[in-house]
Amino acid sequence: MKKKYLILLIILLLTFGCNKKENNKENTENKEKEPAPIIEPEPKEPEYVDLNNTPIGIYKNNQRVTEYKETFKVGKDIAMFKIYPSTEDYLSLSGSFGESFNNKWKEYNTNGNLKIGFNLQYDVIDGRHFSHTIRHIPDNYAYAGHILVFLYDDYDLTVNNKIYKHIDIEEETDSSMFSSIKLFGEKSCGEITSKVYLTVFTYDSDDDFDEKGEYRGNSKYTITICDPNKTC
């Protein structure tokens, strides 16, 4: 009798063990068939596209400048230039420059958000390279004593019959438009060892500048300024 129960117990154990193996096998197969988790890609920043194609140029005596030569002297003007929304080699203006600038500028600044900025680049005697992006009246201490930058709003000076002078930091407003720029020789201007590259550009938002603050848009124009005794 005991032998009979023992045989029955063995049969039950074998049956349970086989079922357990089958279940484990099925579970393993089901796990293998489960789809891999979907990893969503990180959202990419939209590619920068500049639709601003405003023509812009740097002028002196109504002639568009490509290269300008002047001896750099401490305490003396290096150059003063007019900015105009044009690529013409010669400007034929009717009336004052300020009024002519404003009338032409309104053709492109239809939304009222277009602004003018500058970039100034040069090398100095110890090997340093300077690149100054100017979107507001500059704090000239940032220029390491090489060149002072002065900006003017010719239209404001014209319509308000003001003495012709640059805009001070505290005078700048949202409506200020930099239609002229003057470069002035500071105490260390003699340390400049390269041509000076002056770029004017137009922009309508912060998106027009890269992570370093450099302009990356389409609407720009660059000239070179050199000292005939050193860098021309």
What tens digit of pLDDT does each residue of 130-187 get? Answer: 999 999 998 665 666 899 999 999 999 998 888 899 999 999 998 999 999 999 999 9
Structure tokens at 19: 């079922």
Residue 150 is which amino acid?
A: F
* pLDDT attached to residue 2: 47
* pLDDT attached to residue 161: 87
The model's pTM is 0.79
Q: What DSSP designation does 186 have?
A: -
What tens digit of pLDDT does each residue of 47-56 get? Answer: 888 889 999 9
Q: String of b and e for 187-220 (b: at least 16 CB within 10 Å)?
A: eebbbbeebbebbbbbbbeeebbeeeeebebebb
* pLDDT attached to residue 34: 61
- Rg of the chain over Cα atoms, rounded to whole angstroms, equals 35
Structure tokens at 45: 């920043």
Q: What backbone torsions phi and psi does residue 89 show, to the nearest 5 degrees?
A: -70, -30
Q: What DSSP designation does 229 have?
A: T
Task: Indicate the SS3 state at residue 144.
Answer: coil
Q: What backbone torsions phi and psi does residue 74 show, to the nearest 5 degrees?
A: -65, 130
| Average pLDDT per consecutive 10 residues, the chain (232 residues; last block may be shorter) | 50 49 49 63 77 94 96 95 97 91 93 94 94 85 80 92 90 93 94 97 94 93 96 91
Query: Cα–Cα distances in Å, from 110 out to 48, 55, 100, 106, 200?
Result: 22, 14, 16, 6, 20
Q: What backbone torsions phi and psi does residue 31 show, to the nearest 5 degrees?
A: -65, -40
Q: Which residue in the block uniquely carries the two structure tokens 């109504």?
A: 62
